[in-house]
Every structure is written in structure tokens, then in C-alpha cells.
């Protein structure tokens, strides 16, 4: 069965470009993003890794650790990193897992046999400090991911975890949010003393907590 939202992210030991890790220990109470790459020295992956390296300060500001995975060997990661820096302007500044045995790819369901029985698809897992999977995304090998969207989703996940709200379609930080149906009007008065707008009994809109 595929790894699902709410599941505990499988623990593993791995060799990375920043030394050996045990995944659950490496998370250490932080949020984490684990994302896979079909193969080293491929064009789309090269652009993704460079862009993620450029965004690392944004992940750091949110308390999020980033780690990549490729099914190539560790000795291939260093020369590829040089190519990434040369072509994208940023070298990977986060660990890159060497999963040549495809053990971790198997744990996380990153290989989709009907697409390729040897290479991983472009999987993304956002994992919370409780080590539970909060988000999964899978892209085909031919399509680069939108890491600005990954940051937006993390903003939503962290906000909703703190304040008991949900975010509407196309939400961006600072915009209005939705009070979740499980919070009664009475309880909402305590959480949101400045009030809210009721569009329907199940659709109550309120300014983003902490945005003012």
C-alpha cells in the first residue's frame, strides 16, 4: 500500500553527501521535506536541485530540513553537484541520499513500475515534527516540480497546525483563512475575538491569525 497522509514516515539509515544519517534522528523535531530524483546527471533534476538550494534560506526560516534522494551512488553525487553549481548558480546545500539499492525508494513507494521499474518518479514528502506524513506529491520524470508551491503548502500546514484553521483555494500567506467546521461558534469566539464573516454556516472566513 502506498504511503498515506497521517502515516508515520518510515525510518531508515542512509549514506548522504553530508555523512551517514538515521532519518528519524536527523529530523530531530523539525519539519522535513524528502524528495526523490530519477537519476543523476539528468536535466530536469539539475534545475530542481539548484532551485531548491537557492530556496534553502526560506526552508530554514520555516524550521524545515530538506533532503534529496537519487538512486545513483554517492561517488556520483559530488561531480553532479559541481554541474548543478555551474549551470544553476547554486550547489546543493542540503544532504543528498545515495539509494543505489533502491531500499528507501521502495519504503516510500517512489518507484512506479508502470512508469519505470528502475527509476524513481519525482516524489515529495512533507513530514511533520511528529514524523507523520503531511503531504505527498508525485510528478512524472518529465515534469519539473514547483518548489514555490511546496513552500506555500508548508506555510499552510504550519499555520493550520497552530491555529485550527484551513486555507482556501489558491491561498497565500497573509490572506484570509477558514475556521474549521469542528470548531463551534462559541469556541470560535474565544479563538477569534475580533469576529469573522459567515458566508454559510459551514464557511466562516477570518483574517489569518498573526497577520496583523
Domain boundary assignment for the chain: 13-145, 164-206
Average pLDDT of the chain to the nearest whole number: 92
3-state per-residue secondary structure call for 47-75: HHHHHHHHHHHHHHHCCEEEEEEECCCHH
Q: Is the pLDDT of residue 120 over 70?
A: no
Q: What is the pLDDT of residue 58?
A: 98
pLDDT band at residue 116 under the 50/70/90 scheme: low
pLDDT band at residue 86 under the 50/70/90 scheme: very high
- Could you tell me if 30 and 65 are in contact, meaning their C-beta atoms sit under 8 angstroms apart? yes
As a whole number, mean pLDDT of residues 163-192 equals 95
As a whole number, mean pLDDT of residues 39-54 equals 93
Q: What is the pLDDT of residue 142?
A: 86
As a whole number, mean pLDDT of residues 6-11 equals 97
d(CA 196, CA 55): 34
Q: What is the pLDDT of residue 159?
A: 96
Q: What grid cell was written down for 25?
A: 534522528
Q: What is the pLDDT of residue 178?
A: 98
User: What is the set of active-site residues?
Assistant: 45
The CATH fold assigned to 164-206 is Antioxidant, Horf6; Chain A, domain 2 (3.30.1020)
- The listed CATH number (2.60.40.10, 3.30.70.20, 3.40.30.10, 3.40.630.40) that belongs to domain 13-145: 3.40.30.10
Q: What is the pLDDT of residue 114?
A: 59
As a whole number, mean pLDDT of residues 47-69 equals 97
- Could you tell me if 178 and 167 are in contact, meaning their C-beta atoms sit under 8 angstroms apart? yes
Q: What grid cell was written down for 194?
A: 475580533
Amino acid at each position: 500500500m502506498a504511503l498515506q497522509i497521517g502515516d508515520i514516515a518510515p525510518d531508515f539509515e542512509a549514506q548522504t553527501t553530508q555523512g551517514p544519517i538515521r532519518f528519524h534522528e536527523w529530523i530531530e523535531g523539525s519539519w522535513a521535506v524528502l524528495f526523490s530524483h530519477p537519476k543523476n546527471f539528468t536535466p530536469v533534476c539539475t534545475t530542481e536541485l539548484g532551485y531548491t538550494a537557492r530556496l534553502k534560506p526560506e526552508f530554514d526560516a520555516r524550521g524545515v530540513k530538506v533532503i534529496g534522494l537519487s538512486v545513483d551512488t554517492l561517488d556520483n553525487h559530488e561531480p553532479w553537484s559541481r554541474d548543478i553549481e555551474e549551470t544553476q548558480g547554486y550547489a546543493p546545500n542540503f544532504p543528498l541520499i545515495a539509494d543505489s539499492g533502491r531500499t528507501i525508494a521502495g519504503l516510500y513507494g517512489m518507484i512506479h513500475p508502470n512508469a519505470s521499474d528502475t527509476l524513481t518518479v519525482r516524489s515529495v514528502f512533507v513530514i511533520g515534527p511528529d514524523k507523520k506524513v503531511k503531504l505527498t506529491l508525485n510528478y512524472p520524470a518529465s515534469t519539473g516540480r514547483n518548489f514555490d508551491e511546496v513552500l506555500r503548502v508548508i506555510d499552510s500546514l504550519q499555520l493550520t497546525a497552530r491555529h485550527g484553521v484551513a486555507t482556501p483555494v489558491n491561498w497565500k500567506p497573509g490572506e484570509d483563512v477558514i475556521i474549521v467546521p469542528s470548531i463551534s461558534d462559541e469556541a470560535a469566539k474565544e479563538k477569534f475575538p475580533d469576529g469573522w464573516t459567515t458566508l454559510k454556516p459551514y464557511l466562516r472566513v477570518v483574517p489569518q491569525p498573526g497577520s496583523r
